[in-house]
Amino acid sequence: MNKTFLVGLPEASIPTPALVLDAAAFERNLDGMDAFLAGRRVALRPHAKTHKTPMIGHIQMRRGAIGLCCATLGEAEAMIYAGLDHILVTSQVVGEDKVRRAAALARWADLMVAVDSRENLRDLSREAAARGARLGVIVEVDVGMGRCGVRSPEDAIRLARAASELPGLVFRGLMGYEGHAVFIGDRADREDAGRKANAGLVETAEAVRRAGIPVEIVSAAGTGTFDIAGDYSGITELQTGSYIFMDLTYGKLDLPFEYALTALATVISRPGPDTVVLDCGMKSISVEREPPRPLSFPGLEILKLSEEHATGRILPGAAELRPGDRVKLVPSHCCTTVNLYDEIFVVRDGRVEAVWPVEARGAR
Amino acid sequence: MNKTFLVGLPEASIPTPALVLDAAAFERNLDGMDAFLAGRRVALRPHAKTHKTPMIGHIQMRRGAIGLCCATLGEAEAMIYAGLDHILVTSQVVGEDKVRRAAALARWADLMVAVDSRENLRDLSREAAARGARLGVIVEVDVGMGRCGVRSPEDAIRLARAASELPGLVFRGLMGYEGHAVFIGDRADREDAGRKANAGLVETAEAVRRAGIPVEIVSAAGTGTFDIAGDYSGITELQTGSYIFMDLTYGKLDLPFEYALTALATVISRPGPDTVVLDCGMKSISVEREPPRPLSFPGLEILKLSEEHATGRILPGAAELRPGDRVKLVPSHCCTTVNLYDEIFVVRDGRVEAVWPVEARGAR
């Protein structure tokens, strides 16, 4: 249901639990990224898996992003159907139905997909060629994360060559996400791990070029490594996603971004002298890393999430919380929190300024 | 989008990741609960938070359930709008907008809400009375879980009396969920903890009756304690939810139910000799307890979930898995897994037999 009828009303009119975006903080985060990019050659292709929200994708494009990353083909469909273009699907698109969908979608937009196997390339080529589509291919390189991606320059060259030669495909370049580096707390250690990963990727790109295959795109980075990869020579674009919202995990690093996204919760019970229960559990905020924390209520500690409850305690000397009071919780992981909601309430100066549909929620 | 166009097609036509219900196993689980209830006086008010799916609620009602539990008011709205009735919202309904919605909804169905504070009772009474509604009240008792609920018989009596006297409200009884007992692995320990919790609840009900207030409903139990509470004298109904689907957590107990719900996943990458990556991450299967396990592929161990990936390893001697192969994963927690999907694909004999909308997904 479209909830824009709440626009202009006070934040207190938002039914809880709800996803709330502080418009000013969000804009400062965008400004922070723009400030980094200004004067540098590296481009930004921000990851839409974080927001799944076409309106935010458009805002990023208007500020100069060269396209978007998507984690699933369904996300790419949602973004393209909302007018966005130049989409890189950062996961392998595998299975008959998915390959068909990717090939068909490539008729309507500049679409690239991550590939790490020859069989997948052949399938994509067959379906794209059958439709007269030209599907972009980015060869994924495992730069140390141990997930998807080829694990040697030779394999990268082999796939790049196949992608260059097979009908219906256009080889565009390489990606290597340093997911094992993005959360390292110590700045020097993070730089080491990030640069090592970037080096592996850039060297693989050089090897592909030496084999006579032009490499246009060399794509890397998460929010924890955006400035490391952004200054690494040979990386052409950043896949950073969470910088727009931030979360407790990235909040531990020394990043020029602030908490913009929270889950707005209501106190529903005060069953004991220091016990507080909020209406915001695992179905409304991420649970996989650590409990959420109140944005601006240091006297409340969240101890435990159940499905629809957050149970916490009021620390000695803290202000009182009564049933009906509202608290903003910062999630430990913004991307999975967004995935639990159908809309983002955008708030400025205490009032709802917009309600953006999380169009790609559940899109696979 | 309604995906019933897949009905009659082979399971292989379901796009992954997807939620798949084995119709036969589901029916055996329903039969298992029916067999327990046969000849006993205790009733079943199964928890709809598990399925969020009106069609499943109707199936439970046709088999003799006396109503449904819901975890949020939004779930109750979805169920009532789909023709279900006799709904108990097992969480406190707090906040001006929620109280208004509950009171209005009570005009259209037999609705009860859990209450644990006098202020909340007064708010509910005011809004219900203003609409000429009669809203049922269940006083929640904390039976040891340490979440919501009154913590003394005196407080229960006080609230029961207020609920009996305030206009617009009907005091119906008590609930006490033994959430701290339902997962205890040792049967004798689980019985001890369950019976202690049930005893506290039943004794509180007796205290309320001694105070001259009739108590119709005494509601308790999760799937791990359904037979303990079901045989505890004075418990009138069971709130059990997960028995229909089961999951890895309840699978560790000695329960007469089997795995009926899985996430269907596709292998998208085989980047290393024993590494397998599936298209089913934290946005498609629960992450809060432990990684999922393949339903019938013992040679695959899931090590790690990221947002859209499950990374696993093939154990020595196991059958090969290639990109495009499909695996059914049993979630560690069925309720939060269902919450990630908009539909359940019901499969019998390898074909899609129905596609049920998870109507209350995201309903708060």
- Domains annotated for chain B, with CATH where assigned, are 1-22+248-364 (2.40.37.20), 40-246 (3.20.20.10)
Q: What is the mean pLDDT of residues B33-39?
A: 97
- pLDDT tens digits along A65-99: 999 999 999 999 999 999 999 999 999 999 999 99
Taking 70 as the threshold, does the pLDDT of residue B1 lie above it?
A: no
Instruction: Answer yes or no: are the C-beta atoms of B294 and B30 closer than 8 Å.
Output: no
Instruction: Answer yes or no: are the C-beta atoms of B107 and B132 closer than 8 Å.
Output: yes
Instruction: Answer yes or no: are the C-beta atoms of B127 and B102 closer than 8 Å.
Output: yes
What is the DSSP secondary-structure string of B330-356? Answer: E-S-HHHHHTT-SEEEEEETTEEEEEE
| Angular region, B168: left φ>0, alpha ψ -120 to 50, beta rest | left
Contact residues, chain A, for B266 at CB < 8 Å: 94-95, 98
Instruction: Answer yes or no: are the C-beta atoms of B102 and B93 closer than 8 Å.
Output: yes
CB-nearest partner of B148 from A149, A271, A305: A271
- Closest-CA distance, A140 to chain B, in angstroms, reads 10
- pLDDT tens digits along B42-58: 999 999 999 999 999 99
Contact residues, chain B, for A15 at CB < 8 Å: 95, 97-98, 364
Instruction: Determine the residue of chain B that is closest to A145 in CA distance.
Output: B311
- Closest-CA distance, B39 to chain A, in angstroms, reads 33
- Closest-CA distance, B171 to chain A, in angstroms, reads 19
Contact residues, chain B, for A308 at CB < 8 Å: 49, 71-72, 91
| Angular region, A246: left φ>0, alpha ψ -120 to 50, beta rest | left
Token pair for residue B226?
Answer: 């359904």
- The total of other beta-carbon atoms located within 10 Å of residue B126's CB is 15
The whole-number pLDDT of residue B356 equals 98
DSSP, res A6 = G
- pLDDT tens digits along B274-284: 999 999 999 99
Instruction: Determine the residue of chain B that is closest to A151 in CA distance.
Output: B271
d(CA B125, CA B169): 6
The whole-number pLDDT of residue A97 equals 95
pLDDT band, residue A179 (cuts 50/70/90): very high
Q: How far is CA B242 from the centre of its chain?
A: 5
The whole-number pLDDT of residue A229 equals 98
Instruction: Answer yes or no: are the C-beta atoms of A141 and A204 closer than 8 Å.
Output: yes
CB-nearest partner of B271 from A96, A142, A288: A142
CA quadruple B56, B59, B63, B65: dihedral sign: positive
Report the C-alpha dihedral over residues B216, B222, B226, B230, rounded to 10 degrees: -20
Q: What is the mean pLDDT of residues B221-247?
A: 98
List Cβ neighbours of A95 (8 Å cut-off, separation of 6 or more): B15, B16, B266, B268, B324
CB-nearest partner of A269 from B148, B270, B323: B148
Distances (CA, A) of A75 to A50, A54, A104, A114, B42: 11, 10, 15, 14, 47
Instruction: Answer yes or no: are the C-beta atoms of A97 and A131 closer than 8 Å.
Output: no
- pLDDT tens digits along B346-362: 999 999 999 999 999 99
pLDDT band, residue A297 (cuts 50/70/90): confident
Instruction: Determine the residue of chain B that is closest to A323 in CA distance.
Output: B94
Q: What is the mean pLDDT of residues B243-252?
A: 98
pLDDT band, residue A185 (cuts 50/70/90): very high
Contact residues, chain B, for A104 at CB < 8 Å: none
Q: What percent of chain B has pLDDT over 90?
A: 98
Token pair for residue A340?
Answer: 């639990």
Alpha helical stretches, state H, chain A: 23-37, 54-62, 73-81, 96-105, 118-130, 153-165, 187-210, 226-230, 248-251, 334-338
C-beta atoms of A311 and B151 within 8 A: no
Task: Report the length, in residues, of chain B.
Answer: 364
CB-nearest partner of A116 from B151, B271, B288: B271
SS3 label, residue A75: helix
Taking 90 as the threshold, does the pLDDT of residue B297 lie above it?
A: no
Rg of chain B (C-alpha set): 22
Q: What is the mean pLDDT of residues B117-129?
A: 98
Half-sphere exposure (Cβ direction) of A227: Cα atoms closer than 13 Å? 17
Instruction: Answer yes or no: are the C-beta atoms of A115 and A95 closer than 8 Å.
Output: no
- Closest-CA distance, B92 to chain A, in angstroms, reads 6
Q: Which helix (H) or strand (E) segment is B162 a member of? A: helix B153-165
Please state whether the peptide bond connecting residue A17 to the residue before it is cis, i.e. omega within 30 degrees of 0: yes
C-beta atoms of B97 and A17 within 8 A: no
Task: Note the pTM of the prediction, 2 decimals.
Answer: 0.96
Q: What is the mean pLDDT of residues B293-304?
A: 94
Half-sphere exposure (Cβ direction) of A65: Cα atoms closer than 13 Å? 27
- A–B CB contacts, 8 A cutoff, strictly below: 163
- The one-letter amino acid code at B345 reads F
Instruction: Answer yes or no: are the C-beta atoms of A163 and A119 closer than 8 Å.
Output: no
The whole-number pLDDT of residue A94 equals 97
Q: What is the mean pLDDT of residues B226-234?
A: 98
Q: Strands B43-44, B237-238: parallel, antiparallel or unpaired by DSSP? A: parallel
Q: How far is CA B277 from the centre of its chain?
A: 30
Q: What percent of chain A has pLDDT over 90?
A: 98
Contact residues, chain A, for B151 at CB < 8 Å: 271-272
- Axis-axis angle for helices B96-105, B73-81 (nearest 10): 30
C-beta atoms of A340 and B341 within 8 A: no
Taking 80 as the threshold, does the pLDDT of residue B320 lie above it?
A: yes
How many helices (H) and strands (E) are present in chain B, helices listed first? 10, 17
- The one-letter amino acid code at B260 reads A
CB-nearest partner of B336 from A95, A279, A283: A283
Question: What φ, ψ does residue B191 adopt, rounded to 5°?
Answer: -60, -45
CB-nearest partner of A342 from B15, B150, B362: B362
Instruction: Determine the residue of chain B that is closest to A15 in CA distance.
Output: B97
Q: Which helix (H) or strand (E) segment is A271 a member of? A: strand A261-272
- pLDDT tens digits along A138-169: 999 999 999 999 999 999 999 999 999 999 99
d(CA B158, CA A142): 64
Mean pLDDT across chain B: 97
Q: Distance between terminal CA atoms of chain B?
A: 21
Instruction: Answer yes or no: are the C-beta atoms of B203 and B219 closer than 8 Å.
Output: no
Report the C-alpha dihedral over residues A199, A204, A210, A211, rounded to 10 degrees: 180
Instruction: Let me know if B1 is exposed, middle or buried by CB neighbors in 10 A (0-12, 13-18, 19+).
Output: exposed
Of B54, B17, B77, B218, nearest to A72 by C-alpha is B17
Say which residue the tokens 């458009």 belong to. Answer: A58
- pLDDT tens digits along A235-284: 999 999 999 999 999 999 999 999 999 999 999 999 999 999 999 999 99
Instruction: Answer yes or no: are the C-beta atoms of B344 and B18 closer than 8 Å.
Output: no
The whole-number pLDDT of residue A2 equals 82
